[in-house]
Chains A and B, each alone.
Chain A
Amino acid sequence: MLIVHCHVCGAEGDETDFHYGGQAHIARPATRDPASVSDAEQRDYLFMRHNPKGLHFERWRCDRGCGKWFHAARDTVTMEFKATYGISELPPRALMEAATGEWAIFFKDKLAKGSEA
């Protein structure tokens, strides 16, 4: 059973006190310029998911506490939470650097730019 810490209100609870929100950092392409979104981009947004064996970045909601969404970095093999961070933030730099596979590709230019979401 996972023990989760809310990044917003600091509450601690088991996984049933929280709601899992799936992969983090998915931007809706149609928000900026709906007319130019290709079918493949829309597929990526709706269905393609990073599915790493290891470090993953995801969303959680503090269901029975403050009700707010936040981000977490968690290992999908050891189940260990590496960090939690705000819903509009990027993960701590060290974790972005530790990311592998699709996440490493995703964080590459973010690392170059600095750490705003």
Chain B
Amino acid sequence: MADTLTHTAIARVVVPKGGFGHELRATLVVWNRELIRFRRDPARVISSVIQPLLFLFVLGGGLSALVASGTGGVDFKTFLFPGVMSMSVLFTAAFAGISMVWDREFGFLREMLVAPVSTAAILTGKCLGGASVATLQAVIVILLAGLVGVPYDPLMILELLVLLFIMSFMITALGLVLASRVKQVQSAMPLVQMIITPLMFLSGALFPLSRLPAWLTVVTHINPMTYAVEPVRAVVFDRLNMSTEARAILDPGIWWGSYQVPLLLQVALVIASSLLLLLLAVKLFNRTE
């Protein structure tokens, strides 16, 4: 071996006694790792952009003639736009959370969990990372807004980014909960499909929930995605010139009986679900090793 050793002494470094600053650094570095890995994986970026495009232009384009009579004059693609944005975020964020299964398989999870920081700090970093990556991807969908008749309103874009960030934080936390239970890499993706697909169909992302049978309405009301998707749609539709009848058909809002759930309460519900899922994930990961 040609590796020669130099015999200079190495200065000891100081490791502090924990505290909030240390936890924060741990959170930030886990967050940063997600961004680095995202940049290194162009295939992931491209594939996650293609899927929403297919939904928007192929499914949306194909169905628009068929459903034209029922949309009050609004292009079906325009209706679909907020839903497709939510959908792209949903899958990317779920994948970011479930990627913990790979971290376990390749041992890196142990490097994280054996450090002198709380599991909460690490998982929070993971959620922030998943949310950032998913929101970055949504930016690409937002860029297409003009093609489906949605104006590039700066305030709308800002509101969308905030809402999508919160939504993807919640879904990443859900992915982490799943990852804590799944030990096999090959069962991770099927599980994500199995959980995420119904969440998506029962969230109002692809069609208005008002048309669903009553028993399914109960399911949509306990689906946290419903409360994440509706504000996204409201923010977009607020910027469109749409008749009140069309708005009533396409965006009826969420009703608990005769009570219309206000947007801020919806956002609050999403934030609360995020925290609950994150807490659950922390509990589950604390127990695994």
Does chain A bind chain B? Answer: no
List A residues at the B interface (Cβ < 8 Å). none
List B residues at the A interface (Cβ < 8 Å). none
